[in-house]
């Protein structure tokens, strides 16, 4: 029996709260930023806000000002709502910058490192697990997340086909909570960091496991460009849910199914560094947004 | 006697060929893309091309079409030339993507690795040099450059002050040849790669040497976000010289002076992977431009 890939219908993705944001397109037409409400009804925000060139990125750049207006529109039954059905769901935002947090899911890192141990590693599985766990606990105590830079060009729509490059020998999925920033954040303390978050979405962070590590230069370690940044390696969305609709970004369930089989089912509770610590950490070096 | 920092005057930067491109601004005015000709005369390309919103990035996106027009303008004494003097020199382009080649200057990598050897390294200096050289020669033979992603937000103008963050304990300069792409390049062979290059400029690639390596997670290796991507860590320019004015990008002399003392004086001949190999390599993963 042949495996028939199961693709979820765009309309099947539900979300918390009164509305979400996306980017949609009708066949052969330019994409538009969309307000999405439960029941699969959508509003073209270019038309509704009378800004013919508006993008979702610009909405997040003006988040504090636009949020009350989005609430009004979501509650307005007389607005020009149309069905989501028949529209193509694009990546919900084209960010200028992408930051990726590495080695941040405690259990996942332990599993990966044990599985990818060198064949001549003298440690037992238990010894290896205990050592890796100790390293992670020390990192958490020292408040030192590890963050690397991604390419916006790796982002693609959540239902788009991904063409794997011929050199990708061990392509692997990995769901990640994606955080969308709504105010320029530079050197913000942990306590205030969540005030800079406009919303959340989900990313499939594809990785070619065969090319993560540079075996030829051990000191350099990882090669993120090669293993994570081919075009299409970051399917994003479908929806960005406003931060105010999420009670706790540190308590979200993340589930990935492959042809109906559950391959990943975990909680953001397992994150070593939560969203606030990551946003604060990155903002010590770069300006977010 | 106090050290008085020597800042070169903008007008002192000469270049090869009939013209170069930059981005300039008059006090309290928006920057404009500029054609620069020898003798420090400049032309506002927004006015000359009758495109009030033109940026240098857009010029490189339309490079093949615009290059003949730039030649005509550079040769036109009746155009609205003005003196460079009194204008502020900005970074010559705001790229969407930045790629940085690591461990690519043979002699520099050997010097750095020998200098930063662990105190309990059992090798003599000569043994360490020989080992590092052998690794680099193997990389070159296997055609495997190492490239990582940089943040466009780290770019600043060539004469701007750089404010060092408090955590940067060992800030260090490093001049790099910067390559500006003028045609979308995806999976281009080495032999054709230089056809995708619009021009060249120079970058000071600042690095905080104290935060390059993650001592807490040796396998992960380097932390490029933290050590290289603070705002202002990539002073760029002043001028982008068209590729056609450079006989051989693999034979350019690069000189850095600190308050009059020469700190770096090397040749791009020492690059392990030249421009064509790097452009071709990156284009196997990402789309350039």
B188: domain CATH number is 3.90.850.10
Which of B103, B229, B287 has its CB closest to that of A217? B103
A177 shares its domain with A112? yes
| Ranges A9-13, A47-51, B2-6, B163-167: which has the least confidence | B2-6
B203 shares its domain with B115? yes
The domain tally of chain B equals 2
B42 shares its domain with B151? no
> What pLDDT digit, counting tens, does each position of B34-66 carry?
999 999 999 999 999 999 999 999 999 999 999
Q: A49 lies in a domain?
A: yes
pLDDT score of A232: 96
Last residue of a domain, one of B56, B89, B122: B89
In terms of C-beta density within 10 A (0-12 exposed, 13-18 middle, 19 or more buried), how is residue A112 classed?
middle
125-144 in chain A: CB under 8 A from chain B: 135, 138-139, 142, 144
- Average pLDDT, stretch A209-215? 90
CB contact under 8 A, B103 and A286: no
A150 shares its domain with A250? yes
Q: A5 lies in a domain?
A: no
pLDDT score of B141: 85
In chain A, residues with a C-beta closer than 8 Å to the C-beta of B141 are none
In chain A, residues with a C-beta closer than 8 Å to the C-beta of B213 are 219
ipTM of the complex: 0.89
Which candidate, B40, B51, B99, places its Cα nearest to that of B239? Answer: B40
Last residue of a domain, one of A58, A90, A122: A90
Highest mean pLDDT among A19-28, B119-128, B256-265: A19-28
pLDDT score of B1: 46
Whole-Å CA distances, B231 to A140, A241, B31, B114 = 26, 30, 19, 29
What does residue B22 show for φ and ψ, rounded to 5 degrees? Answer: -150, -175
CB contact under 8 A, A285 and B221: no
Q: A4 lies in a domain?
A: no
In chain A, residues with a C-beta closer than 8 Å to the C-beta of B167 are 284
> What CA–CA distance (Å, rounded) separates B252 from B268?
5
Q: Is the model's pLDDT at A11 over the cut of 60?
A: no
CB contact under 8 A, A214 and B103: no
pLDDT score of A5: 57
- Average pLDDT, stretch B202-222? 91
Closest approach of B11 to chain A, Cα-based (Å): 31
Q: Is the model's pLDDT at A3 over the cut of 80?
A: no
Closest approach of B13 to chain A, Cα-based (Å): 30
Q: A186 lies in a domain?
A: yes
B46 shares its domain with B176? no
Confidence label for A10 from pLDDT (cuts 50, 70 and 90): low
pLDDT score of A106: 84
> What pLDDT digit, counting tens, does each position of A45-87 carry?
999 999 999 999 999 999 999 999 999 999 999 999 999 999 9
pLDDT score of A128: 87
pLDDT score of B8: 57
| Ranges A58-62, A85-89, A142-146, B275-279: which has the least confidence | A142-146
Confidence label for B77 from pLDDT (cuts 50, 70 and 90): very high
Q: A261 lies in a domain?
A: yes
> What pLDDT digit, counting tens, does each position of A234-269 carry?
999 999 999 999 999 999 999 999 888 999 998 999
| Ranges A156-170, B104-118, B183-197: which has the least confidence | B104-118
B60 shares its domain with B156? no
What does residue A181 show for φ and ψ, rounded to 5 degrees? Answer: -85, 145
Whole-Å CA distances, A24 to A103, A236, B55, B180 = 33, 13, 29, 33
Q: How many CB pairs under 8 A join A and B?
A: 117
Q: B288 lies in a domain?
A: no
A203 shares its domain with A248? yes
Last residue of a domain, one of A90, A116, A151: A90
Q: What length does chain A have? A: 289
A253 shares its domain with A211? yes
- Average pLDDT, stretch B115-139? 85
For residue B87, the surrounding DSSP H or E stretch is: none
More confidently predicted of B8 and A148: A148
Closest approach of B48 to chain A, Cα-based (Å): 27
Strand A234-235 vs strand A155-156: parallel, antiparallel, or unpaired?
parallel
Q: Give me the domain span that covers residue B84.
A: 10-89
Which of A216, A224, A285 has its CB closest to that of B229? A285
Which of B113, B186, B221 has its CB closest to that of A222? B221
Residues 6+ apart with CB under 8 A from B71: B18, B19
A61 shares its domain with A177? no
CB contact under 8 A, B139 and A102: no
> What CA–CA distance (Å, rounded) separates A20 from A105?
27
Q: Is the model's pLDDT at B4 over the cut of 80?
A: no
- Average pLDDT, stretch A178-200? 97
- Report whether B192 contacts B232 (CB < 8 A): no
B105 shares its domain with B222? yes
Q: A2 lies in a domain?
A: no
Q: Is B3 on the interface with A (CB under 8 A)?
A: no
Residues 6+ apart with CB under 8 A from A202: A175, A176, A177, A178, A236, A237, A254
- Average pLDDT, stretch A136-163? 92
Q: Is A263 on the interface with B (CB under 8 A)?
A: no
CB contact under 8 A, B225 and A147: yes
More confidently predicted of B207 and A138: B207
Nearest chain A alpha carbon to B149: A149
Confidence label for B10 from pLDDT (cuts 50, 70 and 90): low
CB contact under 8 A, B216 and A151: no
| Ranges A251-255, B109-113, B226-230: which has the least confidence | B109-113
Which candidate, A228, A60, A239, places its Cα nearest to that of A150? Answer: A228
B222 shares its domain with B270? yes
pLDDT score of B180: 98
Q: Is B153 on the interface with A (CB under 8 A)?
A: yes
| Ranges B94-98, B128-132, B264-268: which has the least confidence | B128-132
Q: A162 lies in a domain?
A: yes
Report the phi/psi class of residue B90: left, alpha or beta, with left for phi > 0 and alpha for psi in -120 to 50: beta
A113 shares its domain with A216? yes
Q: Is the model's pLDDT at A110 over the cut of 70?
A: yes
In chain B, residues with a C-beta closer than 8 Å to the C-beta of A229 are 149, 285-286
pLDDT score of A1: 46
In terms of C-beta density within 10 A (0-12 exposed, 13-18 middle, 19 or more buried), how is residue B166 classed?
exposed
Which of B103, B165, B217 has its CB closest to that of A146? B217
């Amino acid at each position: 029996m042949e495996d028939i890939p199961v693709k979820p219908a765009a309309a099947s993705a539900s979300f918390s709260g009164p509305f979400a944001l996306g980017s949609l397109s009708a066949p052969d037409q330019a994409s538009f930023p969309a307000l999405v409400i439960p029941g699969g009804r959508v509003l073209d925000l270019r038309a509704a806000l009378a800004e013919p060139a508006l993008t979702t990125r610009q909405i997040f750049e003006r988040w504090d000002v636009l949020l009350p207006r989005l609430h009004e529109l979501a509650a307005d039954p007389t607005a020009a709502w149309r069905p989501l059905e028949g529209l193509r769901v694009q990546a919900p935002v084209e960010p200028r910058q992408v930051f990726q947090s590495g080695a941040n899911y405690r259990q996942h890192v332990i599993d990966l490192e044990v599985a990818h141990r060198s064949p001549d590693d003298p440690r037992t599985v238990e010894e290896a697990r205990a050592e890796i766990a100790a390293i992670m606990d020390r990192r958490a105590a020292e408040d030192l997340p590890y963050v690397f830079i991604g390419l916006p060009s790796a982002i693609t729509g959540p239902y788009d086909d991904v063409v794997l490059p011929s050199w990708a020998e061990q392509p692997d999925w990995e769901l990640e909570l994606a955080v969308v920033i709504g105010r320029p954040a530079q050197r913000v303390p942990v306590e205030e960091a969540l005030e800079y978050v406009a919303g959340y979405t989900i990313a499939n962070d594809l990785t070619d496991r065969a090319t993560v590590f540079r075996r030829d230069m051990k000191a350099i370690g990882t090669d993120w460009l090669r293993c994570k940044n081919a075009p299409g390696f970051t399917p994003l969305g479908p929806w960005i849910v406003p931060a105010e609709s999420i009670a706790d970004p540190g308590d979200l369930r993340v589930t990935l199914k492959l042809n109906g089989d559950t391959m990943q089912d975990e909680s953001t509770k397992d994150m070593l560094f939560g969203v606030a610590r990551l946003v604060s950490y990155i903002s010590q070096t770069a300006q977010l947004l």
